[in-house]
Amino acid sequence: MRTQVGIIGAGPAGLLLSHLLHLRGISSVVLERRSREYVEKRVRAGVLEQGTVDTLVAAGVGERLRREGLPHHGIELRYGGAGHRIAFERLVPGRAITVYGQQEVVKDLIAARLAAGGDLRFEVEDVAVHDVATDRPYLTFGGGERLDCDVIAGCDGFHGVSRPSVPEGVLTAHERDYPFAWLGVLARVKPSAEELIYAHSERGFALHSMRSPEISRFYLQVPPDTGLADWPDERVWAELAARLETVPGFTLATGEILEKGVTPMRSFVVEPMQYGRLYLAGDAAHIVPPTGAKGLNLAVADVRVLTEALARFYADGSTDLLDGYSAACLRRVWRAQHFSWWMTTLLHTFDSDDAYGRRLQLSHLDYVTSSAAAATTLAENYVGLPFEDGPAPV
């Protein structure tokens, strides 16, 4: 078999790349280790930046997003017994975020690729990367099948095969682990607030979010070694109430818990994001703590850059954009890394004995919620900085 771009991974990065390339007349094959059912039901991020929404709409996969997504024009920072709204409509006019689950984005992209005759292969075992240092890279999979291509895109996540395929010593990894994790809860209950609530307290951080008008999403800061058995439903609701019911008039609605999971908190960046004809995108190249809601959005940003670079390459043979892929992506990646680290350190409880650190946090929260300049910095990073390349690349 032969295609122009071999793509490993059918998450948002791989699927969107395949679709954007299709719109440019560039062929691709997507290889995914998991089943279609698994990737369409895997609950992940649900906050889409303005630029991500614009990209999906321009690519023709935003109809359901526009119909079912929940636009938000602000978030609340809750601490010290009061709530403080960061008003996007005032601080960054014309820009917002949309709550729409990552699994819904994946469903939309799979449907679009299949409708266009795209080659998506699920439950593919033993994918291996070969000869990316040459101009004839190829992939093997399934116990003997071979896919020849011009370029390979590694969109297979942090634990995928793409990044480990690069020879040792070529890539430099930057990492930071945080001394806590997030317990994520999906519940069949109407959201108790119209916008996301980021709550800071001495008991730890909590986040009130949502996935639809009937489904809510919650997160609790927990120790990194937490097991799900430690958190029966009654304890989850009691702790969420203790951390969220801290302002007058707010009552947390409860309901059936559909899903629980523990997510470790880490920051990770690998440089460069390319080697030969192999280009890493999304979680294969970088991980952010979810506090800043940047993971999926960074994957979309990577794919936009790679799409433009490949379109130039196939149009006139130029490799200048491909050569500069990593540098172009990393400018945004490091900005998002800093913002995610900043939000994490601002809102979470660290050493319980560190009274000095707690007072610094409260002082910083007071500054963010009372200074237009500080609030604008939060708002413009949260809704997503404009893309350097302008409108969506379709």
Provide the annotated active-site residues.
72, 198, 290, 294, 382
The helix (H) or strand (E) run that includes residue 268 is strand 256-271
Task: Return the bridge partners of 298, or none.
Answer: none
Token pair recorded at residue 1: 């078999």
C-alpha to C-alpha distance for 14 and 198, rounded to whole angstroms: 31
The helix (H) or strand (E) run that includes residue 269 is strand 256-271
Token pair recorded at residue 365: 């929260």
With beta carbons less than 8 A apart as the criterion, state whether 8 and 137 touch.
no
With beta carbons less than 8 A apart as the criterion, state whether 157 and 102 touch.
no
Give the largest Cα separation in the chain, rounded: 65
Phi, psi of 153 (to 5 degrees): -110, 120
C-alpha to C-alpha distance for 385 and 394, rounded to whole angstroms: 19
Nearest Cα to Cα of residue 250 among 123, 81, 11 = 81
C-alpha to C-alpha distance for 82 and 365, rounded to whole angstroms: 12
With beta carbons less than 8 A apart as the criterion, state whether 188 and 255 touch.
yes
With beta carbons less than 8 A apart as the criterion, state whether 145 and 242 touch.
no
Residue with tokens 């409708």: 115
With beta carbons less than 8 A apart as the criterion, state whether 337 and 291 touch.
no
C-alpha to C-alpha distance for 145 and 165, rounded to whole angstroms: 18
What beta strand segments (E) does 138-199 contain? 138-141, 145-148, 151-154, 172-188, 197-199
Amino acid in the structure at residue 357: G
Give Cα separations from 113 to 52, 58, 310, 321 (angstroms): 18, 15, 19, 25
Residue 23 DSSP code? H
